Every structure is written in structure tokens, then in C-alpha cells.
Chain A
Amino acid sequence: RKEVEQDPGPFNVPEGATVAFNCTYSNSASQSFFWYRQDCRKEPKLLMSVYSSGNEDGRFTAQLNRASQYISLLIRDSKLSDSATYLCVVNIPSFSGGYNKLIFGAGTRLAVHP
């Protein structure tokens, strides 16, 4: 089983739609989770951090279900500018201590059309 798995998409949605991405992770000891956004031929940029059960920032809501080892990202009222690849990221604790192995999912591609 991959350490972080995402539905690759693509998700093609009209402006104004609500879209949800799912992500599962295999290491039950993971403590921190992130969603990154990556535009074509650009570096990934942090969208949201998820430390407890969830986090909301404007149109974006991230939720964490530790029992099911599942993270989701909900985007409401989609804009054309939301078109990008969304990467689920899980921080894997290391045996030597610390939390510094960030594992990225393969990403889910979103295309918002007029």
C-alpha cells in the first residue's frame, strides 16, 4: 500500500461548483497533514495545514479522520483560478525522533470551466 494515496482525477467542474478531494495515508503515527497546490510547471505551495480534526479558510475546508486515516479537502464556489493540482502531504515520524519526512500524494488535478 502506498504511504499516501489520492484520486488522480481530473475533476472537471463548472464555476461555482463544490468539489471534494480525498486522501488516505498508511502510517497511523502521523501527526500533521497538509494540502498543497501546484500550478503547471511551478513549485508546490502550502494551501492548508491540518493538525486536529479540521481547518477552514474561506472557501476551503480540510478535514481529518484519524480513525479511518483519511483527509479531505472541500472547495466551495469554485473559481477558474482554483484550477491546479492539489497535493495531499503527510508528515511521517522518523525513528530518530522528529517529524520530518514529508510524503506527497501523486496529486488530484482540478479543472474549473466557465
Chain B
Amino acid sequence: GAGVSQSPSNKVTEKGKDVELRCDPISGHTALYWYRQSLGQGLEFLIYFQGNSAPDKSGLPSDRFSAERTGGSVSTLTIQRTQQEDSAVYLCASSQDISSPKNTEAFFGQGTRLTVV
């Protein structure tokens, strides 16, 4: 597609339920990132993918969070047993190329606003 697409745009879930967030990156982009942004706060790095592998998972807040990417394209972020503190906007971004620092501008989707009640 023309841009990064995320779904759903909004998700309200009950505490304790699992949720799955989806990201469709820009076609041909090898790198994909997940960030979390709580209200009034900065972007918190969660994880990034080069192709289907995730070299750095250090930002995942707990073992309730996991992410995968298949076919070098779509990625899903799964949060198990959601807690109220998981409420935030989850942003996905993609960038073109990893081999040169000049091709790493990231383009963002509009985010998924998650509310845990």
C-alpha cells in the first residue's frame, strides 16, 4: 500500500483479555518497528524487525508482550492478559533499508489506541 497501515485503529478490551495488533508496512521496507506512547509521554521503543527476525527485543515491557513478522511484511504485536497500564497508543513504523544509514527514515502508521478497562 501507499503507507503504513495499522488495525484496529481503536481497541477497548477488558482487563485480562488478550489482544492482537496488526501492522502492514510500506511494500519493500525491510525494517519494521513497534513503539508505545502513553498519554502525554514520548515514544517508548518496544521491538524492531529486520526481515522476519527481531535483533532487539529489549524494549518489550514484560513476557506478556510478543511480536512476530511473517513473509518480511505484516507484523502482529500480541499482548496477553492485558492490564490497565497497557493502555496507550501503539505505533508501527517501517523503513526501507538497513545497509546504509541514509535509508533508514521511518514512516509511521496512524497507530492503534488501546484502552484496557
Residues of A near any B CB (own CB < 8 A) = 31-32, 34, 42-46, 49, 51, 87, 89, 91, 94-107
Q: Mark B88-117, 1 if CB is under 8 A from A, else 0.
A: 000101010011111011111111000000
CB of B107 to closest CB in A, whole Å: 7
CB of A72 to closest CB in B, whole Å: 19
Chain B interface residue count, CB cutoff 8 Å, equals 27
CB of A33 to closest CB in B, whole Å: 9
Q: Is the CB of B42 within 8 A of A106?
A: yes
User: Which chain A residues border B91 with CB–CB below 8 Å?
Assistant: 43-44
- Within 8 Å of chain A (Cβ to Cβ): is B55? yes
Top-10 shortest CB links A-B? A98-B98, A106-B42, A31-B101, A32-B101, A43-B108, A104-B43, A100-B31, A99-B101, A96-B55, A100-B98
Q: Could you say which of A101, A103, A104, A107 has the most chain B C-beta atoms within 10 Å of its C-beta?
A: A101
Interface of A is mostly: loop
Q: A32-B101, A94-B55 are in contact. Are A102 and B50 (CB under 8 A)?
A: no
Complex formed: what's the CA distance from A68 to B3 in Å? Answer: 36
Picked from A34, A87, A101, the residue with its CB within 8 Å of the CB of B45 is: A101
Q: A43-B111, A87-B43, A94-B55 are in contact. Are A104 and B101 (CB under 8 A)?
A: no
CB of B70 to closest CB in A, whole Å: 18
Q: Is the CB of A104 within 8 A of B55?
A: no
- Within 8 Å of chain A (Cβ to Cβ): is B56? yes
Q: Is the CB of A34 within 8 A of B105?
A: yes
**Closest chain B residue to A107, Cβ basis:** B42
User: Which chain A residues border B56 with CB–CB below 8 Å?
Assistant: 94, 101
Complex formed: what's the CA distance from A39 to B111 in Å? Answer: 13
Q: A43-B108, A43-B111, A46-B107 are in contact. Are A98 and B42 (CB under 8 A)?
A: no
